[in-house]
C-alpha cells in the first residue's frame, strides 16, 4: 500500500494522465483493487489509446512528488447500441453514432480520501460526457459491498438501476454489482422499469392522500387513528422499495 501522508494543506490539481505516470498508476491500481489489470490496460491509459483519463496530484508535496498521482479516473467511450444499458436510454435508434462514457477505474490513495478528490474526478468525466453532443450517459459498475463508492455515486445523483448477480468473480468467489447511470444530454429513458414503479407509487400515494383527506373532512370520530395506521402501512412499503 502506498504510504503517503497528506500535507496539512494539500493543493490538489487535476491533469491528464501521461506516460511518466505509468509506474505509479500500476502501483495504485494494485494497492486499491482486488482485480489485476493487464499491463496493456495501463499502456492504453497513459497513451490515451481508446481510454480517457484524469489524474489528481498534490502540488504541496515535496519537490519531485508534487506531480505524482494520488488519484485517477479512467473511462472508455462505448457505442450506445453495443452497451448493456441500451434499453435504459432515450435516443434515436436509427443513429449509430450515439455514445456513452463507461468509467473503468476510479481511485484515491488512502491518506487523501474524503477531500472531495473522487467527486472532482467524476465531475470531470461528467463534464466530458456532457460536452459530447452524441453522448447520452456516463455509467459504471460497483461491487455491492463498496459502501464508500456507492455513497459517492448516490451523492452525485447517479441512479442505481440494476443489481447484477455474481457479476464479479474474485479469488474464487462471486460478488454482485450495482449498475449506476448518470444521464446527460437528454439521454434518460422515460419508461425504464424503475421509473414505471416510481410513477405507479406516486399515483397510488396521490390517490390515497385524496381518499384519506375526504374521509378526514367527513369528521367521523374514529377516523383519525385509522388514517394514520393505513398511511404508516403504505409508507412502510414505500420505504421498503426505497422510494421515500
Ligand atoms: C471510493 C473512493 C474513490 C472515494 O474517494 P474520495 O476522494 O475519498 O471521495 P470524496 O472525498 O470525493 O467523497 C467521499 C464520500 O464518501 C463518504 N464515505 C467515505 N467512506 C464511506 C463509507 N465507508 N460509507 C459511506 N460513505 C463513506 C465520505 O463521507 C464522502 O461523502 P460526503 O462528501 O457526503 O461526506 C476511495 O474511497 C477509493 O479510492 N476507494 C478504493 C477504490 C474504489 O473503491 N474505487 C471505486 C470503484 S467503483
Residue whose CB lies within 8 A of the most ligand 1 atoms, among 114, 126, 160, 170, for a mutation test? 114
Write the CB contacts of 222 (distance below 8 Å, at least 6 apart in sequence). none
Q: What is the pLDDT of residue 11?
A: 96
* Dist. CA 149 → ligand 1 center (Å): 5
Closest ligand 1 atom to 122 CA: 12
> How many other CB atoms are found less than 10 A from the CB of residue 229?
10
Both 225 and 161 in one domain: the answer is no
Q: What is the pLDDT of residue 190?
A: 66
Both 116 and 201 in one domain: the answer is no
Query: What interhelical angle do 147-155 and 117-131 show, nearest 10?
Result: 50
* Dist. CA 207 → ligand 1 center (Å): 40
Both 97 and 208 in one domain: the answer is no
Cβ of 149 closer than 6 Å to ligand 1, yes or no, is yes
Q: What is the pLDDT of residue 12?
A: 97
Cβ of 115 closer than 6 Å to ligand 1, yes or no, is yes
Closest ligand 1 atom to 147 CA: 24
Q: What is the pLDDT of residue 222?
A: 43
Q: Residue 168 domain-assigned?
A: yes
Q: What is the pLDDT of residue 195?
A: 64
> Mean pLDDT of residues grouped by 10 in the chain (244 residues)?
70 97 98 95 98 97 92 97 90 86 98 96 98 97 97 97 96 97 90 68 77 64 37 31 31
Cβ of 151 closer than 6 Å to ligand 1, yes or no, is yes
Q: What is the pLDDT of residue 79?
A: 96
- Mean pLDDT, the chain, rounded, equals 85
Domain end (from 149, 168, 189): 189
pLDDT tens, position by position, 14-36: 999 999 999 999 999 999 999 99
* Dist. CA 146 → ligand 1 center (Å): 9
Q: Residue 5 domain-assigned?
A: no
Ligand 1: residue whose CA is nearest its atom 9: 118
Ligand 1: residue whose CA is nearest its atom 39: 107
Q: Residue 214 domain-assigned?
A: yes
Domain extent at residue 54 = 12-189
Cβ of 146 closer than 6 Å to ligand 1, yes or no, is yes
Ligand 1: residue whose CA is nearest its atom 17: 148
Closest ligand 1 atom to 109 CA: 39
Both 96 and 154 in one domain: the answer is yes
Judge whether 156 and 129 are in contact, CB under 8 Å.
Answer: no
Q: What is the pLDDT of residue 191?
A: 62
* CATH number (domain holding residue 175): 3.40.630.30
Q: What is the pLDDT of residue 219?
A: 56
Ligand 1: residue whose CA is nearest its atom 24: 148
Ligand 1: residue whose CA is nearest its atom 43: 107
Q: What is the pLDDT of residue 243?
A: 32
The alpha carbon of residue 164 and the mean position of all alpha carbons in its chain are separated, in whole angstroms, by 15
Count the domains in the chain.
2
Amino acid at each position: 500500500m502506498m504510504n503517503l501522508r497528506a500535507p496539512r494543506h494539500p493543493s490538489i490539481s487535476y491533469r491528464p494522465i501521461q506516460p511518466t505516470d505509468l509506474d505509479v498508476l500500476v502501483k495504485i491500481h494494485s494497492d486499491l483493487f482486488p482485480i489485476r489489470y493487464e499491463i496493456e490496460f495501463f499502456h492504453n491509459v497513459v497513451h490515451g489509446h481508446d481510454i480517457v483519463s484524469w489524474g489528481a496530484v498534490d502540488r504541496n508535496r515535496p519537490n519531485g512528488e508534487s506531480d505524482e498521482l494520488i488519484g485517477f479516473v479512467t473511462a472508455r467511450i462505448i457505442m450506445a447500441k453495443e452497451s448493456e444499458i441500451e434499453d435504459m436510454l432515450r435516443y434515436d435508434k436509427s443513429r449509430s453514432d450515439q455514445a456513452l462514457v463507461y468509467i473503468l477505474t476510479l481511485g484515491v490513495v488512502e491518506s487523501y480520501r474524503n477531500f472531495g478528490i473522487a467527486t472532482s474526478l467524476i465531475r470531470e468525466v461528467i463534464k466530458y460526457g456532457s460536452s459530447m453532443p452524441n453522448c447520452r450517459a456516463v455509467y459504471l459498475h460497483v461491487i455491492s459491498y463498496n459502501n464508500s463508492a456507492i455513497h459517492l455515486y448516490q451523492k452525485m445523483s447517479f441512479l442505481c438501476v440494476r443489481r447484477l448477480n455474481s457479476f464479479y468473480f474474485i479469488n474464487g468467489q462471486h460478488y454482485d454489482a450495482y449498475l449506476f447511470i448518470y444521464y446527460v444530454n437528454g439521454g434518460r429513458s422515460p419508461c425504464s422499469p424503475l421509473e414505471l414503479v416510481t410513477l405507479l407509487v406516486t399515483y397510488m400515494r396521490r390517490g390515497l392522500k385524496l381518499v384519506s383527506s375526504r374521509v378526514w373532512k367527513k369528521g367521523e370520530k374514529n377516523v383519525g387513528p385509522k388514517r394514520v395506521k393505513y398511511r404508516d402501512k403504505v409508507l412502510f412499503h414505500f420505504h421498503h422499495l426505497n422510494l421515500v
